[in-house]
Structure 1
Amino acid sequence: MFETITLNTDARGVCTLTLNRPDKHNAMSGQMLQELILAARRLNEDGTVRVVVLTGAGKSFCAGGDLGWMRAQMEADAETRGREARVLAEMLMALNTLAKPVIGAVQGNAFGGGVGMASVCDVAIGADHLKMGLTETKLGLIPATIGPYVIARMGEAKARRVFMSARLFGAAEAVELGLLAKAVPADQLAEAVEAEVAPYLNCAPGAVAAAKKLARDLGPQLDDAVIDHTIKALVARWEGDEAQEGISAFFEKRKPVWQG
């Protein structure tokens, strides 16, 4: 049924949710966003699933927004842009509130929305060769809908080190920033993820779900007001001259005016 993701559950109840657009570096298209929302609903309803492992197929974990999706936003009106931004926000919320532990197996690079995907995992472990970055400002945009989850994961002080500069950073710095719990050689990633998965199989599933909800309730409040604020902020950027220039420059393979 799914075309951009896969779901595979083993006999223990460990479901691997794989972003499956390797030829596009698992960039998020509108279809992928909708499929992820549907997958999250199914996983919540499936009592046989105890743990979810989120990963990507191919060389990259997630390169952020799909180029076709970005081009469509550039040509859309504000209402359409707001609607599309809300789908992205709903996907992140669906994964963040999943009533199962989510372990990220970040096997490759994660940019923009890919950093947001890593941030909604309860634990994210990365391959030590990967690069990450919040690259939106290079395009005249901002990391808006992913922002609440990124800042909840890193804290404001650490987030401000990378939130606005669009610079890339490696796995070791991602651990220091709190995005990754640990970084390991790529050939040890599966073993490290399994070490995070195994303890949950000895726990009462209902207690795990209740404890996760309590942790969210006690942490930063990611409610509808926050989500609405991020959507409005993103649409405002899309409406501005910088986004039009940045995205046009990207597709035209030239430097935007602010790079001289």
Structure 2
Amino acid sequence: MDYQTLLVSVTDKVATVTLNRPDVRNAFNETSIAELTLAFDELGHDDAVRAIVLAANGPAFCAGADLNWMKQMAGYSDAENQADAMRLASMLRTIYYCPKPVVARVQGDCYAGGMGLVAACDVVVAAEGVNFCLSEVKLGLIPATISPYVIKAMGEQVARRYFLTAERFGALDAKRMGMAHEVVVPEELDATIAAIAKALVTNSPNAVREAKRLVREVSGMPIDDAMLADTAERIAAIRASGEGREGVASFLEKRKPSWLT
């Protein structure tokens, strides 16, 4: 479909969703929120897509919420404000629960809600010189809807500082605290993203989907009898699956698995 705020393309089983409002530093409004939700829902269920890259045009990755949109929200009723916030929360959840792996290509500054977008992704690659900031408290707001994802990414103790101070921090600090997996010079950003995407699309699609779900559902759970039973059930099921059987057989027979042919 035609998007007003995004560019979407698919090449070699990798979809690229590009934020395309560079004139407002890719800040999101009700249209971009709806389009991101739709794009990730559709791509997540497209068998031709094995991985998704979330990118942005212009000097900034995402500045958070569009100020004109926020000004408009000031006149909303309580019910309208809640409904609007739920649309943003649903968009972030759609990205986080997307069955396909999502790689964030952070080429420019990432503020406020933009950090929620990044934290909802599975792999984050940032260019050197990029700044991050949870700036909400400067505007009398709080990073509420993005908090589940950002706190998972940076940890509670680090979040205590940056949620409260609204200090900027750089890409290397983001890597140190867990917000970014890789920090590269801008000239190497595309090559790094391409290498990660290639690794993702060469693996079993079903195993990648189940591995993503495994991390999400096992993280933070106690290692008790229920956990042992759950993980045993998961490995037994994947061993008996079509791709599980094919993967083991292709390895033993020294041939490519069917998902690479």
TM-score bracket, shorter-length normalisation = 0.7 to 0.9
- Look up the SS of the partner of 2:138 in the other structure: helix
* CA apart distance, 1:195: 2.0
| Structure 2 equivalent of residue 78 of structure 1 | 78
- What per-residue deviation string (whole Å, max 9, x for no partner) do you get for residues 82-128 of structure 1? 00000000000000000011011000000000011110110101010
How far off is 1:211 after superposition?
A: 1.1
Structure 1 unmatched ranges of 5 or more: 222-260
Q: Which amino acid aligns with 1:219?
A: S
Q: Which residue of 2 aligns with 1:46?
A: 46
**Deviation digits for residues 119-164 of structure 1, max 9, x if unmatched?**
0110101010111100000011000000000001111012222121
User: Using the alignment, how far apart are the partners of 1:159 and 1:117 within structure 2?
Assistant: 16
In structure 2, runs of 5+ residues without a counterpart are: 222-261
Q: Partners in 2 of 1:220 and 1:19 — Cα distance?
A: 32
Output the CA distance in 2 between the equivalents of 1:121 and 1:41: 14
2:10 aligns with 9
Partner of 1:210: 210
- Return the TM-score normalized by structure 2: 0.82
Contact 1:110 1:131 survives alignment (8 Å): yes
Change (3 A) 1:220 1:18: farther
Deviation at 1:219, TM superposition (A): 2.5
What's the CA shift string for 1:184-233, capped at 9, x where partnerless?
Answer: 11111011112211111221111111111111111369xxxxxxxxxxxx
- 8 Å contact from structure 1 (residues 60, 108) kept in 2: yes
Q: Write the mapping of 1:183-222 to structure 2, written as runs, cut at 5 A.
A: 183-219=183-219
TM-score by length of 1: 0.83
C-alpha contact 1:159 1:177 (8 A) present in aligned 2: no
Counterpart amino acid of residue 113 in structure 1? G
For 1:156, the equivalent position in structure 2 comes to 156
Partner of 1:18: 18
Runs (4+) off by over 2 Å: none
Paired residues of 1:128 and 1:184 also in contact (CA < 8 A):
yes
> Which secondary structure state, in structure 2, belongs to the residue aligned with residue 141 of structure 1?
coil
Cα RMSD (Å) of the superposition?
1.1
CA contact (8 A) 1:51 1:102 kept: yes
Shift of 1:45: 1.7
Instruction: Assess, with a 3 A threshold, how the Cα gap between structure 1 residues 8 and 170 changes in structure 2: closer, same or farther.
Output: same
Structure 1 residue 68, shift from structure 2 partner? 1.5
Aligned residue in 1 for 2:36: 36
CA 1:65–1:220: 2 relative to 1, 3 Å: farther
Larger radius of gyration: 2
Identity over aligned residues, as a percent? Answer: 39
The residue number in structure 2 matching 1:135 is: 135
Shift of 1:46: 0.7
Alignment of 1:64 onto 2:64: yes
3-state SS of paired residue (1:126): strand
Alpha-carbon separation, structure 1, partners of 2:162 and 2:207: 35
- What secondary structure is seen at the aligned counterpart in 2 of 1:145? coil
Tell me, in whole angstroms, the C-alpha distance in 2 between the residues paired with 1:214 and 1:181.
Answer: 19
User: 1:168 matched to which residue of 2?
Assistant: 168
Moved more, 64-73 or 195-204: 195-204
| Partner residue, 2:93 | 93
Cα separation, 2, equivalents of 1:44 and 1:104: 15
Q: Does the 8 A contact of 1:152 with 1:220 survive in 2?
A: no
Matched position secondary structure for 1:6: strand
